[in-house]
Structure 1
Amino acid sequence: MALLNLEMLTKEAFAPFGNVIEITGSDWFPINNGSTRRYHKLGLVDICGEDGLPAISMARGVAFDFPLSISMLERHPLGSQSFIPCNGVSFVVVVAPSLPDGMPDERGLRAFHAKSDQGVNYFRNCWHHPLISLQQEGDFIVVDRVGSGHNCDEVMLSQQYRIEASL
């Protein structure tokens, strides 16, 4: 089993895979007569397909703890997908770039620790692991595509990867 190092989630490190949705370090402008700061366009919803629509859902992820074992990835060819924590939970984000044939490049596999005030927006076709809520059940707002068409590809990795501890 190969060891996968855990990195802190930053906008720069995650840029090849999607957007980090967070207030810290993000530009804003005042709205509502100055009583509210709007942190605008932290991630873009990307929707393909004839009847695809962006939807807002919620998900409740079971609690995982270290060590974590990663053996599969998924991607969504018809739309981006965002996860934004609601109840103060942190989570682990595992992503991989694509090879020229479209399959995940395991040499580029990366794991990020998302703090409770960070969300992620995976680009369309980004290989990622399903939701990993850390140490407590996690409630998440999910923004993604609904509609007809096949929108979830899953692959088993060539080996298991182990993530041993949080930062």
Structure 2
Amino acid sequence: MTRIIQAAALNARAFAPFGDVLEVAGAPDKLINAGLCGRHHDRATLDFADGRAGISLFDATPRALPYTLDLLERHPEGSQCFVPMHGNEWLVTVAPDRGGVPGDPVAFLAAAGQAVNLHRGTWHGVLTPLHAPGLFAVIDRIGPGPNLQEYRLDPPIQVERGA
């Protein structure tokens, strides 16, 4: 029997164990550009063992719900921030670490205008846009040495849209 999890709406409180939710919420911290731009300041904690922050562009193939989650990965040497360059919802799957392997996955639906910054070492699913284009800016560690661990889920888990 296939295990099923339901994707809940992404919110900062529920996502906090895994990382930061980046979104415009509340009043800006300050107004800049002659008062025409609100700055919502320092909304994510980038964390790298060494190396530097880099910005790459990812163009992922859109998927659909229900979605088969069969691979989780993590980056032990640095945080990873996914910033959509589109106005569509997208799927975020994460799992706590349980002694070097992923624990029970949790799924979130990120709304248009929401980005996430995953804490260093957080297990997460692959980039999962639900609509074309699947274009994202990704801010992560650029440096020497390996920074990717993968874990195949057997059996896979089905992710469905929550209520």
**Taking structure 2 as the reference length, what is the TM-score of the superposition?**
0.93
Helix, strand or coil at the partner of 1:4? strand
Question: Gaps spanning 5+ residues in structure 2: where?
Answer: none
Which residue is equivalent to 2:126?
A: 130
Which residue is equivalent to 1:57?
A: 56
CA deviation after TM superposition for structure 1 residue 26, in Å: 6.3
CA deviation string 1:59-95 (max 9, x = no partner): 1111111210001100001100011111212210000
Which residue is equivalent to 2:19?
A: 18
- 1:89 and 1:138 in contact (8 A); partners too: no
Runs (4 or more) in structure 1 with deviation over 4 Å come to none
- 2:32 and 2:38 in contact (8 A); partners too: yes
Which residue is equivalent to 1:104?
A: 102
Helix, strand or coil at the partner of 1:63? coil
2:137 equivalent among 141, 147, 150: 141
Change (3 A) 1:16 1:27: farther
- 2:86 and 2:135 in contact (8 A); partners too: yes
**Taking structure 1 as the reference length, what is the TM-score of the superposition?**
0.91
Which residue is equivalent to 1:95?
A: 94
Question: Gaps spanning 5+ residues in structure 1: where?
Answer: none
Change (3 A) 1:79 1:143: same
- 2:28 and 2:38 in contact (8 A); partners too: no
Identical counterparts, % of pairs:
36
